[in-house]
Amino acid sequence: MESLDLQPARSVDTHGHGHDHHDDHDHEEGTFLTKYIFSQDHKVIAKQFLISGIFWAIIGGTLSSIFRIQLGFPGTDLSFLKPILGGWIEDGKLNPEFYLAMVTMHGTIMVFFVLTAGLSGTFSNFLIPLQIGARDMASGFLNMLSYWFFFASSVIMLWSLFIETGPASGGWVIYPPLSALPQAAPGSGTGMTMWLFAMALFIVSSLLGSINYVSTVINMRTKGMTFTRLPLTIWAFFFTAIIGILSFPVLLSAALLLMFDRSMGTSFYLSEIYINGEALPNMGGSPILFQHLFWFLGHPEVYIVLLPALGITSEVIAVNSRKPIFGYKAMIGSIMAITLLSFIVWAHHMFVTGMNPFLGSIFMFLTLIIAIPSAVKAFNYITTLWRGNLVFTPGMLFSIGLVSFFISGGLTGVALGNSAIDIQLHDTYFVVAHFHLVMGSASFFGMVAGVYHWFPKMFGRMMNEKLGYIHFWMTFIGVYCVFFPLHYTGIAGFPRRYYSFTSYDAFKSFGDLNAFVSVAAFVTFVAQFIFIFNFFYSIFRGRRAPMNPWRANTLEWTTPIHPGHGNWVGEIPHVYRWPYDYSKPGADEDFIMQTIPFAQTSSSNLEGEVDLVEETTSVKSHA
Amino acid sequence: MFYLIIAATVLLLIVFGLLVRAQVLIDIFTKSSESRGGLSNKINGLMFPLFFVFGLAGFIYLTVSSRKDYLPDSASIHGVITDHLFWVTMGVITVVFIATHVLLFFFPYVYQYKEGNKALFYPVNHRLEFIWTVIPAIVLSLLVFTGWKAWSDITKAAPKDAVVVELVGKQFNWLVRYPGLDKELGKHNYRKIDELNSVGIDFADKNSFDDFMAGEVHIPVNKPVLFKIRARDVLHSVFAPHFRVKMDAVPGMPTHFWFVPTITSSEMKAKLGKPDFTYEIACTEVCGSGHFGMRMRLVVDDEDEFDAWIKSQQSFLAKNPDYLKKVPDNLKKLAEQSIEDNLKSSKTTALSELQEKLITKAF
């Protein structure tokens, strides 16, 4: 930490000024096409990601609502879905192959298109330049490419939903040989090919974005913005991008080898297979190899979606508690620890795949270590609330909700990470409940909290608070009603990805509970339309936002209400302090913005900060 | 119909929009959104503890009311151990879950915004952070250590005298092969698979002569049982919920799982009071559209029943003498002998079983 401290931010001066001129020019004369479609402004790109993310979330949510009908009310006449699903409804019944396809696409869409692109894409893009004091990303052009690669990927993935053989259907983990052999399932034909192409483009998009985020954070911080003065949001986005850069290429290689196996007759993952009355010639491949490669991304991916949400929560909770985040450096430390550990726990998804049990023991140890930094984060959030002066904006409510999901979902991870216990729980609804809480719902809440909190900066208007409250309480209660009961069916051994449980004695119970879960899921899904209404309505008709509606310290609130391309009119502000000077004893207000020098706050300066008064005056004179 | 739905949606949206507009106007009029500690803030602050109380009640209700439905009785030795570990872990995490949520949900009520209050400037406390880093570390180490011990015991090599059963997964059912009286499974080769020889028995290996296929899995109680697991086409996973057994079936890579069943099927029927109870094997690795239908019955016999059952089974060769052609010439004699022995034994046991049944009926 200390060594980072010593490095002053590189001068943005010359760089920034050059941009300044050019960008203002851009802003005035850009056509509709360059301003809203092929824009290089990070704020516009962020909104593009956000709106695409919302679109995908609706699709992903719709899919889950349809398969929840099947799970909650098996045997219901589904003929009324014929207009949407067409031939996939046979005699009023959902086709089991399409059930799996929907489960697969729900997972793929939610994990990658909503919680990776929609979350990182939106908030890393939007907040990094605004909160570190930069005119734009390091490369606006690569940033634009990042969105359009994502768009192309989205088109292919969406298209695959409508082809005759259906989309990919082997689960979002697409384990071969099922995904490698078109004769094993209809979805493993064209649907799988499109899935792989879409994901390859997605990975390109993600890499372009991540490289940009990292280089922007390292090189383009404004004067005085040392690493230890960065808001925790930026720390989280920074490490998320690093995880992405290191792990997504591995998924690409896994996908590439799978493409070779599918179409070029190689045997990376295939060996000794007899299918449809035919013994295939492939020998010597290993399906386990794919699982290792997949989870080498797959597990870090959990943190790719979770860390940004935790970063957003850190900021929103501090602002609305009117308190500094508790243990700022411990928070950074735990993000670092989680980043590091996220790369060495992947095989806990594979305890019972036939992997050497000794490896299982190692990964059990490593997995449970990752619980420690996570616990530190949870405790720090709670302590931040303690003796605060809490303002319940919708963003704050969703952040508290996130902490709750993070705890309840994270705790069950302690059971799952234990390989002896995992024997029974692996691939049951216990796992479904666990990751939907800790990764799905928590990250989703972080994303929604971010939208409520930064909406005024994005659109210059406020979202409706009352609708936000209703949205929060319906969603928060709804999510618990959906996922808490699933732990019980999981403990009872109900396997996931089952079309129906009726043929088993062991899985006959819990019919009522499953119906309850389905109803809760429908209600929760419908509640999201309150948010969508609020979002689009407020863009046009929301109340006009003041410059700093939440009385926050960070730099984005020093920009004009409608910041143009280049963010600040005139010089980029200097930064003199960390972002969490809330309710400082001796200060007049309950917040001191990062741009206020210590020389102006002599009544509230702490002991160590007296020396900084000089630093600030010298910076001033230099400037 | 379709247009009606669209019209209704549009109408609903307009009404909703108007209501929101009216609410905003009222807000502006009453200035309620200008103060940070208004009524909404109080209601939200109160909702958290209320949610906690009702949530906890629901949690307790669900846990008590569905008690009989979750975690079926364990019928294996290691299952009792892992169940114990599971419930200890659940106990620990439930305590943490409730304790953290008391704080998380009551703080919003206690520390909600009050005009004139100032939050405590409290950025760091190293001792506190140290404590809550070390305590989870200790608790987790204990849990990991006990888990690791159980895991090593479960995954160590199976005893030599274990009863071997081969389970082969295919789309969409399980195939079961027993080694027969010689207790050695014959070799297999996926290129030898055909309509009848569904697991690819290699008849060049003399151990295969008395191997037999079964329609359901029979295992003896209180004896180590070794499942040798394979897959023919895609990944599958053997899951026997009552025995806490789960292991993937991987094409090209045989896997295994051994355990000791402790409760026979008939004992379990009596224990549960369900005369039609049966143990089951399910598939837990998605394998295609029939994934949910890969059910296989499993019967735990006492020792005598099991021996009798084994003896009564006809070997694959005895059932399908055509496959004698695939036996190399030098082993043909041995194979024929094996068929003869098998037929003799399976007929007599079948006969004696019949007699036994008649006798018990007569009484």
SS3 track for chain B: CHHHHHHHHHHHHHHHHHHHHHHHHHHHHHCCCCCCCCHHHHHHHHHHHHHHHHHHHHHHHHHHHCCCCCCCCCCEHHHHHHHHHHHHHHHHHHHHHHHHHHHHHHHHHHCECCCCCCCCCCCCCHHHHHHHHHHHHHHHHHHHHHHHHHHHHHHCCCCCCCEEEEEEEECCEEEEEECCCCCCCCCECHHHCCCCCCCCECCCCHHHCCCEEECCEEEECCCCEEEEEEECCCCEEEEEHHHCEEEEEECCECEEEEECECCCHHHHHHHHCCCCCCEEEEECCCCCCCHHHCCEEEEEECHHHHHHHHHHCCCHHHHCHHHHHHCCHHHHHHHHHHHHHHHHHHHHHHHHHHHHHHHHHHC
How many domains is chain A partitioned into structurally? 1
Residue type at position A294? F
Whether A205 and A149 have beta carbons less than 8 Å apart is answered as yes
Nearest to A262 by CA among A181, A378, A207: A181
Q: For residue A476, which residues of chain B lie inside 8 Å, CB to CB?
A: 51
Classified as helix, coil or strand, A274 is strand
Backbone angles phi, psi at A561, to 5 degrees: -60, -40
Whether A514 and A520 have beta carbons less than 8 Å apart is answered as no
pLDDT for res A20? 42
Cross-chain residue pair A390–B113, CB shorter than 8 Å: yes
Residue A594 within any structural domain of the chain: no
pLDDT digit string, tens, across residues A384-427: 999 999 999 999 999 999 999 999 999 999 999 999 999 999 99
Q: Residue-wise over A28-51: b if at least 16 C-beta within 10 A, else e? A: eebeeeebeebbbbbbbbbbbbbe
pLDDT for res A84? 84
Q: For residue A601, which residues of chain B lie inside 8 Å, CB to CB?
A: none
Mean pLDDT for the stretch of residues B97-117: 94
Per-residue pLDDT at B37 exceeds 90: no
Q: For residue B39, which residues of chain A lie inside 8 Å, CB to CB?
A: none
Query: What are the residues facing A544 on neighbouring strands?
Result: A461
Q: Which CATH number does B163-349 carry?
A: 2.60.40.420
Q: For residue A603, which residues of chain B lie inside 8 Å, CB to CB?
A: none
pLDDT for res A508? 86
Six token digits for residue A313:
């929560």
Q: For residue B196, which residues of chain A lie inside 8 Å, CB to CB?
A: none
Mutation site for A-interface testing, chosen from B19, B120, B196 by largest number of A Cβ within 10 Å: B120
Per-residue pLDDT at B363 exceeds 60: no
Backbone angles phi, psi at A69, to 5 degrees: -60, -45
Rounded percentage of chain B residues whose pLDDT exceeds 90 = 76
Q: Is B155 on the interface with A (CB under 8 A)?
A: yes
Q: How far is A210 from chain B (nearest CA, A)?
A: 31
Nearest C-alpha in A relative to B229 = A354
Q: Domain of A265?
A: 2-270+283-557
pLDDT digit string, tens, across residues A209-232: 999 999 999 999 999 999 999 999
pLDDT for res A5? 37
CA A202 to each of CA A42, A44, A155, B25, B299: distance values in angstroms, whole numbers, following the listed order: 19, 19, 11, 44, 49
On the question of a cis peptide bond just before residue B172, with omega within 30 degrees of 0, the verdict is yes
Nearest to A77 by CA among A87, A65, A91: A91
pLDDT band, very low/low/confident/very high, at A617 (cuts 50, 70, 90): low
Q: Is B18 on the interface with A (CB under 8 A)?
A: no
Per-residue pLDDT at B239 exceeds 60: yes
pLDDT digit string, tens, across residues A264-284: 999 999 999 999 999 999 999
Mean pLDDT for the stretch of residues A168-191: 94
- Put simply, the chain B residues between 203 and 262 with a CB less than 8 A from any chain A CB are 229, 232-235, 237, 239, 241-242, 244-248, 250-253, 255
pLDDT band, very low/low/confident/very high, at A614 (cuts 50, 70, 90): low
pLDDT for res A21? 42
Q: What average pLDDT does the structure give for chain B?
A: 91
Classified as helix, coil or strand, A610 is helix
User: Where in chain B are the domains?
Assistant: 163-349
For the domain that residue A43 is a member of, what is the CATH number?
1.20.210.10
Of A8-22, A310-324, A352-366, B329-343, the one with minimum mean pLDDT is: A8-22
Q: Indicate the DSSP class of residue A7.
A: S
Other CB atoms within 10 A of residue B276 CB: 6
pLDDT band, very low/low/confident/very high, at B361 (cuts 50, 70, 90): low
Nearest CB among A404, A423, A541 relative to B246 is that of A423
pLDDT digit string, tens, across residues A475-488: 999 999 999 999 99
pLDDT digit string, tens, across residues B196-225: 999 999 999 999 999 999 999 999 999 999
Classified as helix, coil or strand, A73 is coil
B212-214: strand order across its sheet: B212-214, B173-178, B163-170, B225-231, B255-259
Q: For residue B234, which residues of chain A lie inside 8 Å, CB to CB?
A: 176-178, 181, 184, 273, 275
Q: Is A114 on the interface with B (CB under 8 A)?
A: no
Q: Residue-wise over A109-125: b if at least 16 C-beta within 10 A, else e? A: bbbbbbbbbbbbbbbbb
B296-301: strand order across its sheet: B217-220, B296-301, B279-283, B236-240, B245-249
Six token digits for residue B45:
């602050």
pLDDT for res A11? 37
Mean pLDDT for the stretch of residues B288-304: 94
Classified as helix, coil or strand, A390 is strand
Q: Using DSSP bridges, classify how beta strands B225-231 and B236-240 pair: parallel, antiparallel or unpaired.
A: unpaired
- Put simply, the chain B residues between 38 and 67 with a CB less than 8 A from any chain A CB are 40-41, 43-45, 47-48, 51, 55, 58-59, 62-63, 66
Six token digits for residue A42:
């990070």
Q: Is A507 on the interface with B (CB under 8 A)?
A: yes
Classified as helix, coil or strand, A499 is coil
Q: Is A391 on the interface with B (CB under 8 A)?
A: yes
Burial class (CB in 10 A: 0-12, 13-18, 19+), A437: buried
Classified as helix, coil or strand, A596 is coil
Q: Using DSSP bridges, classify how beta strands B236-240 and B173-178 pair: parallel, antiparallel or unpaired.
A: unpaired
Whether A452 and A392 have beta carbons less than 8 Å apart is answered as no
Residue type at position A159? W
Cross-chain residue pair B144–A288, CB shorter than 8 Å: no
User: What span, in angstroms and rounded, lies between the C-alpha atoms of B128 and B138?
Assistant: 16
Six token digits for residue A74:
């098996």
Cross-chain residue pair A533–B292, CB shorter than 8 Å: no
Q: How far is B344 from chain A (nearest CA, A)?
A: 34
Q: Is A570 on the interface with B (CB under 8 A)?
A: no
Q: Is A386 on the interface with B (CB under 8 A)?
A: yes
Q: Positive or negative, the Cα torsion across A152, A158, A163, A166? A: positive
Nearest C-alpha in B relative to A94 = B289
pLDDT for res A613? 74
Rounded percentage of chain B residues whose pLDDT exceeds 70 = 94
Whether A355 and A288 have beta carbons less than 8 Å apart is answered as yes
Residue A581 within any structural domain of the chain: no
- Put simply, the chain B residues between 80 and 119 with a CB less than 8 A from any chain A CB are 81-82, 85-86, 89-90, 92-93, 96-97, 100-101, 103-105, 107-108, 111-114, 117-119
Classified as helix, coil or strand, A349 is helix
pLDDT digit string, tens, across residues A104-150: 999 999 999 999 999 999 999 999 999 999 999 999 999 999 999 99
Cross-chain residue pair B286–A485, CB shorter than 8 Å: no
CA angle A134, A137, A141 (to 5 degrees): 145
pLDDT for res A532? 96
Q: For residue A477, which residues of chain B lie inside 8 Å, CB to CB?
A: 51
- Put simply, the chain A residues between 590 and 619 with a CB less than 8 A from any chain B CB are 590
Query: What are the residues facing A275 on neighbouring strands?
Result: A278
Q: For residue A421, which residues of chain B lie inside 8 Å, CB to CB?
A: 82, 85-86, 89, 147
Cross-chain residue pair A414–B89, CB shorter than 8 Å: yes
Q: Is B321 on the interface with A (CB under 8 A)?
A: no
Rounded percentage of chain A residues whose pLDDT exceeds 70 = 93
Nearest CB among B43, B71, B129 relative to A327 is that of B129
pLDDT for res B15? 87
Q: What average pLDDT does the structure give for chain A?
A: 91
CA angle A104, A181, A173 (to 5 degrees): 30
Cross-chain residue pair B252–A96, CB shorter than 8 Å: no
Helix, strand, coil percentages, rounded to 5, for chain A: 65, 0, 30
pLDDT digit string, tens, across residues A24-55: 444 445 688 888 889 999 999 999 999 999 99
pLDDT for res B32? 63
Q: For residue B89, which residues of chain A lie inside 8 Å, CB to CB?
A: 414-415, 418, 421
Mean pLDDT for the stretch of residues A503-526: 93
Nearest C-alpha in B relative to A287 = B250
- Put simply, the chain A residues between 287 and 306 with a CB less than 8 A from any chain B CB are 287-288
Report the interhelical angle of A511-541 vs A442-459 (nearest 10°).
10
Q: For residue B101, which residues of chain A lie inside 8 Å, CB to CB?
A: 404, 407-408
- Put simply, the chain B residues between 169 and 198 with a CB less than 8 A from any chain A CB are 171, 190-191, 193
Rounded percentage of chain A residues whose pLDDT exceeds 90 = 84
Cross-chain residue pair A271–B151, CB shorter than 8 Å: no
Per-residue pLDDT at A563 exceeds 60: yes
Cross-chain residue pair A537–B69, CB shorter than 8 Å: no
Per-residue pLDDT at A474 exceeds 80: yes
Q: How far is A356 from chain B (nearest CA, A)?
A: 9
Per-residue pLDDT at A23 exceeds 80: no
User: What span, in angstroms and rounded, lies between the C-alpha atoms of B354 and A416?
Assistant: 49
Nearest to B109 by CA among B53, B50, B57, B39: B50
Residue whose structure tokens are 């990658």 = A112
Q: For residue B235, which residues of chain A lie inside 8 Å, CB to CB?
A: 175, 177-178, 287
Six token digits for residue A495:
């396997």
Q: For residue B28, which residues of chain A lie inside 8 Å, CB to CB?
A: 543
First-last CA distance in chain B? 70
